[in-house]
């Protein structure tokens, strides 16, 4: 069965995924909206940067984060004034890493869903007197429900399964940064296959149930969008 | 007064529209497809980026050299060709969407009025996707009216509908939009819709306004691209007379001429409007006897189009004070030596009652 340590790893993973997903949805909404509407020539640069984590080995991202976040790193001063004494080897550090790592998985579905809206609903809303914020809240958000669901599921799942970045910047501290994907790896290393089984099966079941609920409540849901 | 003078460049297409129409009543914007009608309407609404020039509607300036009021502050409502209802809201939600612009107190009263006017009572809790095309468009019109615009723009609101819904929505439009307090710009390429609804007309061709003004005056400018086209028509304001024939009603023009058309249900003395297609009018130097054509009226030639289009000229006739266009082949013009001042007879093959 799951040991207290495994349970704590599970809890940390879920918390990390939940916090990361929430931050990402807030952050990605304006970013994806801007990307879907702008004709700025900086768009391609921003799109490339957002997509980087898709192609970059997680260890590379983790390595640079480790350098950047260390107490002697370039951002140490800025972080200190914010009252954050250290990010590497802390839960906050993991959140930061996860946010960057999972960014494209949240931005892209949102951006696609904003594109798919087309101009018409917004034009109609504008001619009925709705300003930009009103249009976003009362037209864009409700019409992009499926996009948000996709973004949230992908962001959550991707953060849950994250390994390389966590390995580099997490430090595997029990109760703080010891997440479930690393716990499984540790068990396998120690030849504790039965415990690795329990954790893996729990993750498998959880993922399946989440997808089942999402698919059965949303007729047109799809994780893969062109 | 609606005063528009806008320019807009879209690649190879250039809109350059300059016109002035009264700030009340329906103004038809008429022209072939691709003539820039929709672009003009969108520019007036503020939906076209890069429109330059000036637009003012009853003293509020929407566009000028130093102001470009954004769409949502223009107090404009737009009925698109496709109803474009919000799919996430039911009919009631759609109707109420524009309320942000409206005083709540005024609102309740208006809501009930619009609902009964448009027959939406039974649809209020339905989703847009369950509505027929005609129902959707009715909701879209109601939604536009409820946002209390100071200008209503309609872009071919009937063209996406089947014949039946088009007919019934037309009846509704005739009832309502002509009596609105606010001006309406109504884009259409259907001469029937224009003849029924519009009091004023803006004619568009290749991105340019070729003529504008009161409909009866604009239609009879013989050299306008419209008058020389096959679609040319004129409208006559008439009254229903006392007809005694079984299948025929007598209609009196303002100048006292009598036209006979298929029996109408309108009461005696009711004002009606007749639409006469220029191609349905032919000319004779003497009054033809024994003709099956019901309406043969004495007329005087007022003008001839200078251009010959597809072998035809447009002839402007004066029939007891009313102007009517006839589309006559150049050959016949020469045979009959048609020239201004000539007195002859106009045979009107058909005249459609439009109101």
End-to-end CA distance of chain B: 26
Residue B110 pLDDT grade (very low, low, confident, very high; cuts 50, 70, 90): confident
| Angle between helix A145-160 and A193-217 (nearest 10) | 180
The interface residues of chain B toward chain A in range 51-80, judged by CB-CB distance below 8 A, are 70-78, 80
Please check whether residue B94 touches A, CB under 8 A: no
Please check whether residue B83 touches A, CB under 8 A: no
Range B262-265 contact pairs with CB under 8 angstroms and sequence separation of 24 or more: B264/B240, B264/B353
What's the CATH number for B233-353? 2.40.50.100
C-alpha B247: how far from its chain's center? Answer: 29
Q: How far is CA B285 from CA A122, B220, B296, B344, in A?
A: 60, 22, 11, 5
The whole-number average pLDDT for the span B255-262 is: 89
CA dist B239 and B246 (Å) reads 19
User: How far does A146 lie from chain B, in Å, by closest CA?
Assistant: 12
C-alpha B203: how far from its chain's center? Answer: 10
The whole-number average pLDDT for the span B265-290 is: 90
Q: Which chain B residues are within 8 Å of A139, Cβ to Cβ?
A: 86
User: In this structure, which topology does domain B2-219 adopt according to CATH?
Assistant: Rossmann fold (3.40.50)
Give the Cβ contact number of residue B286 at 10 Å.
7
**DSSP label of A197:** H
Indicate the range of A10-24, A104-118, B13-27, B168-182 predicted with least confidence: B168-182
- Three-state DSSP at B323 gives strand
The interface residues of chain B toward chain A in range 147-186, judged by CB-CB distance below 8 A, are 147, 153
- CATH superfamily to which A4-217 belongs: MetI-like (1.10.3720.10)
Are B101 and A121 an interchain contact pair (Cβ–Cβ within 8 Å)? no
Are B100 and A125 an interchain contact pair (Cβ–Cβ within 8 Å)? no
Using the predicted structure, report yes or no on whether residue B173 has a pLDDT greater than 90: no
Using the predicted structure, report yes or no on whether residue B322 has a pLDDT greater than 60: yes
- Tokens for B299? 């007329």
Edge-first strand listing for the sheet containing B76-79: B67-68, B60-64, B52-57, B2-10, B13-21, B208-214, B200-205, B26-30, B184-188, B151-155, B76-79
pLDDT under 50: residue ranges of chain A: 226
Identify the pLDDT of residue B147. 87
Concatenated DSSP letters of A6-63 = HHHHHHHHHHHHHHHHHHHHHHHHHHHHHHHH---TTHHHHHHHHHHHHHS-HHHHHH
Candidate from A120, A129, A134 with C-beta closest to B84: A120
- Three-state DSSP at B329 gives strand
User: Would you say B90 and B126 are in contact if contact means Cβ atoms under 8 Å apart?
Assistant: yes
User: How far does B77 lie from chain A, in Å, by closest CA?
Assistant: 5
In chain A, domain spans? 4-217
| Angle between helix B163-176 and B104-118 (nearest 10) | 130
Identify the pLDDT of residue A1. 72
Are A127 and B143 an interchain contact pair (Cβ–Cβ within 8 Å)? no
Identify the pLDDT of residue A115. 92
To probe the interface with B, which of A38, A113, A128 has the most B CB atoms within 10 Å?
A: A128
User: Would you say A30 and A133 are in contact if contact means Cβ atoms under 8 Å apart?
Assistant: no
User: Would you say B5 and B31 are in contact if contact means Cβ atoms under 8 Å apart?
Assistant: no
**DSSP label of B223:** T
Are B47 and A123 an interchain contact pair (Cβ–Cβ within 8 Å)? yes
User: Would you say A97 and A19 are in contact if contact means Cβ atoms under 8 Å apart?
Assistant: no
What is the tens place of the pLDDT at every residue in B330-348? 999 999 999 999 999 999 9
Candidate from A120, A126, A143 with C-beta closest to B71: A126
Identify the pLDDT of residue A226. 42
Give the Cβ contact number of residue B342 at 10 Å.
17
What does pLDDT average to over chain B?
A: 89
Residue B225 pLDDT grade (very low, low, confident, very high; cuts 50, 70, 90): confident
Q: Which chain B residues are within 8 Å of A129, Cβ to Cβ?
A: 72-73, 75, 98, 100-101, 147
Are A143 and B88 an interchain contact pair (Cβ–Cβ within 8 Å)? yes
Are A129 and B98 an interchain contact pair (Cβ–Cβ within 8 Å)? yes
Q: Which chain B residues are within 8 Å of A123, Cβ to Cβ?
A: 47, 71, 78, 80, 84
The ipTM of this complex is: 0.83
Identify the pLDDT of residue B78. 95
User: How far does A143 lie from chain B, in Å, by closest CA?
Assistant: 7
End-to-end CA distance of chain A: 42
Are B71 and A123 an interchain contact pair (Cβ–Cβ within 8 Å)? yes
Residue B188's nearest CA partner among B291, B329, B41 is: B41
In chain B, domain spans? 2-219, 233-353
The whole-number average pLDDT for the span B98-117 is: 73
Counted residue by residue, chain A has a size of: 226
Using the predicted structure, report yes or no on whether residue B65 has a pLDDT greater than 60: yes
What percent of chain B lies above the pLDDT cut of 70? Answer: 97
Using the predicted structure, report yes or no on whether residue B66 has a pLDDT greater than 70: yes
What is the tens place of the pLDDT at every residue in B190-205? 888 888 899 999 999 8
Residue B323 pLDDT grade (very low, low, confident, very high; cuts 50, 70, 90): very high
CA dist B133 and A202 (Å) reads 51
User: How far does B206 lie from chain A, in Å, by closest CA?
Assistant: 25
Residue B204's nearest CA partner among B336, B34, B326 is: B34
Identify the pLDDT of residue B167. 86
User: How far does B140 lie from chain A, in Å, by closest CA?
Assistant: 10
Identify the pLDDT of residue A224. 63
Identify the pLDDT of residue A213. 84
Q: How far is CA B239 from CA A90, B123, B157, B171, B325, in A?
A: 88, 38, 29, 19, 20
Phi, then psi, of A86 in degrees rounded to 5: -155, 140
Using the predicted structure, report yes or no on whether residue B101 has a pLDDT greater than 70: no
Using the predicted structure, report yes or no on whether residue B11 has a pLDDT greater than 90: no
Identify the pLDDT of residue A5. 86
Count CB pairs under 8 A between chains A and B: 65
Residue B272's nearest CA partner among B190, B218, B169, B195 is: B195
User: How far does B82 lie from chain A, in Å, by closest CA?
Assistant: 10
User: How far does B78 lie from chain A, in Å, by closest CA?
Assistant: 6
The 3-class secondary structure across B125-169, one letter per residue, is: CCCHHHCCHHHHHHHHHHHHHHCCCCEEEEECCCCCCCHHHHHHH
User: Would you say A20 and A99 are in contact if contact means Cβ atoms under 8 Å apart?
Assistant: yes
Strands B13-21 and B2-10: antiparallel
Give the Cβ contact number of residue A144 at 10 Å.
24
Q: Which chain A residues are within 8 Å of B129, Cβ to Cβ?
A: none
- Tokens for B161? 């509908």
């Amino acid at each position: 069965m799951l040991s207290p340590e495994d349970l704590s790893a599970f809890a940390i993973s879920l918390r990390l995924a939940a916090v990361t997903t929430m931050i990402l949805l807030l952050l990605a909404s304006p970013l994806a909206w801007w990307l879907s509407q702008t004709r700025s020539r900086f768009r391609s640069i921003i799109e490339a940067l957002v997509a980087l984590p898709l192609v970059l080995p997680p260890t590379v991202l983790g390595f640079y984060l480790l350098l950047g976040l260390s107490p002697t790193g370039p951002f140490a001063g800025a972080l200190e004034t914010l009252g954050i004494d250290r990010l590497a080897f802390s839960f906050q550090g993991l959140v930061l890493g996860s946010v960057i790592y999972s960014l494209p998985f949240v931005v892209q579905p949102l951006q696609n869903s904003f594109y798919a809206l087309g101009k018409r609903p917004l034009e109609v809303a504008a001619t009925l007197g709705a300003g930009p914020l009103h249009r976003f809240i009362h037209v864009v958000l409700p019409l992009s429900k499926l996009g948000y669901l996709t973004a949230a599921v992908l962001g959550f799942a991707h953060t849950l399964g994250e390994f390389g970045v966590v390995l580099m910047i997490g430090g595997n501290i029990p109760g703080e940064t010891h997440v479930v994907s690393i716990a499984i790896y540790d068990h396998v290393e120690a030849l504790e296959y039965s415990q690795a089984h329990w954790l893996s099966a729990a993750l498998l079941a959880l993922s399946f149930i989440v997808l089942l609920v999402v698919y059965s409540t949303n007729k047109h849901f799809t994780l893969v969008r062109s | 007064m609606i005063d528009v003078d806008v320019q807009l460049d879209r690649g190879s297409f250039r809109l350059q529209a300059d016109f002035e129409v009264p700030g009340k009543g329906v103004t038809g914007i008429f022209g072939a497809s691709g003539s820039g009608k929709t672009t003009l309407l969108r520019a007036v609404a503020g939906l076209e980026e890069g429109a330059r020039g000036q637009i003012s509607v009853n003293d509020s300036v929407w566009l000028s050299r130093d102001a470009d009021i954004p769409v949502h502050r223009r107090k404009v409502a737009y009925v698109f060709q496709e109803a474009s209802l919000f799919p996430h809201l039911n009919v009631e939600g759609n109707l109420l969407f524009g309320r942000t612009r409206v005083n709540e107190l005024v609102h309740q009263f208006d809501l009930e009025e619009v609902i009964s006017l448009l027959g939406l009572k039974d649809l209020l809790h339905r989703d847009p996707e369950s509505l027929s095309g005609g129902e959707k468009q009715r909701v879209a019109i109601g939604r536009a009216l409820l946002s209390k615009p100071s200008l209503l723009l309609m872009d071919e609101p009937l063209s996406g509908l089947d014949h039946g819904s088009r007919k019934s929505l037309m009846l509704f439009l005739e009832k309502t939009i002509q009596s609105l307090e606010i001006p309406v710009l109504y884009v259409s390429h259907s001469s029937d819709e224009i003849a029924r609804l519009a009091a004023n007309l803006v004619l568009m061709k290749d991105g340019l306004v070729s003529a504008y003004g009161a409909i009866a005056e604009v239609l009879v400018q013989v050299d306008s691209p419209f008058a020389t086209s096959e679609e040319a028509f004129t409208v006559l304001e008439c009254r229903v007379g006392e007809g005694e024939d079984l299948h025929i009603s007598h209609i009196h023009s303002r100048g006292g001429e009598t036209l006979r058309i298929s029996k109408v249900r309108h009461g005696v003395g009711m004002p009606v409007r007749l639409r006469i297609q220029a191609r349905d009018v032919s000319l004779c130097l003497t009054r033809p006897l024994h003709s099956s054509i019901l309406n043969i009226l004495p007329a005087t030639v007022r003008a001839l189009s200078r251009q010959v289009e597809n072998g035809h000229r447009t002839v402007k006739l004066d029939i007891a004070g009313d102007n009517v266009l006839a589309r006559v082949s150049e050959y016949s013009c020469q045979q009959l030596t048609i020239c201004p001042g000539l007195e002859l007879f106009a045979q009107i093959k058909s005249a459609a009652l439009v109101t």
